[in-house]
Amino acid sequence: MGRQPCCEKVGLKKGPWTPEEDKKLITFLLDNGQCCWRAVPKLAGLLRCGKSCRLRWTNYLRPDLKRGLLSEAEEKLVIDLHSQLGNRWSKIAARLPGRTDNEIKNYWNTHIKKKLKKMGIDPITHMPLVPEDQLPASATFSTKEIVSSCLSSSSSTTTIGTTWSFSPTNSSVKVENNQLESMEWPESDYLWGMDDFMRWHFVSKEGEGELKCPDPSNQLVQEESWKVGLF
């Protein structure tokens, strides 16, 4: 039997969206809001699958999207979140205002993966890419340190990062997070809430963004700085 397709594909257009199609979709969604995606193409006068409309809207047409390359701070945040969450792009994207899961996934696959490999870090495990026979008796590696030193020579104050201590003799790996106490936390605990994220201080630096750890004594000022810098 099998499932029915999400929509009747016969006669539907595929491939790149035209400006006219974009305009129709934007106009419809701004006028009516997001309702059931299945009905959107019909109501908006588009020969597209509802899924395709949702994707186009969420990834490219939404007015709150940021475009362009990820800033250094965003890149570091993505790396850190990936070390905690793995390929859960939507969860990672939720921590980066104005960025989409698809955008981050693409950026990871095309830029960050290569960069990490070049740095000697396994992009999957975030462990150092060192042949087993070359490992010291015991060592401590920090993605924070490696990433910070390799991504930029500027003095970053970002304090996000995961520290891996492992001992080949007993194959034990100890994972520590500079912000978070344990990788074993349930997601709701070890992920930052949006409020936590908003407390970070976004500083414009020669066109690049940078996250700074907030001064706990002046949280309100830091929060406002972040918002101003970001938007």
Binding interface with DNA (CB under 7 A): 3-4, 6, 9, 13-17, 35-38, 48-52, 54-56, 59-60, 69, 87-91, 101-103, 105-107, 109-111, 114
Looking at beta carbons only, is 106 or 157 nearer to DNA? 106
Looking at beta carbons only, is 44 or 225 nearer to DNA? 44
d(CA 212, CA 226): 9
Q: Cβ of residue 148: shortest distance to DNA, in angstroms?
A: 21
**What phi and psi, each to the nearest 5 degrees, are found at residue 76?**
-65, -40
Looking at beta carbons only, is 9 or 132 nearer to DNA? 9
Q: Cβ of residue 94: shortest distance to DNA, in angstroms?
A: 7
d(CA 27, CA 44): 8
Q: Cβ of residue 63: shortest distance to DNA, in angstroms?
A: 16
Looking at beta carbons only, is 12 or 203 nearer to DNA? 12
**What phi and psi, each to the nearest 5 degrees, are found at residue 177?**
-120, 135
Q: Cβ of residue 149: shortest distance to DNA, in angstroms?
A: 21
What is residue 10's DSSP assignment? Answer: T
The region that residue 207 occupies, defined by phi over 0 for left and psi between -120 and 50 for alpha, beta otherwise, is: left
Instruction: List the helix and strand counts (H, then E) for the chain.
Output: 11, 5
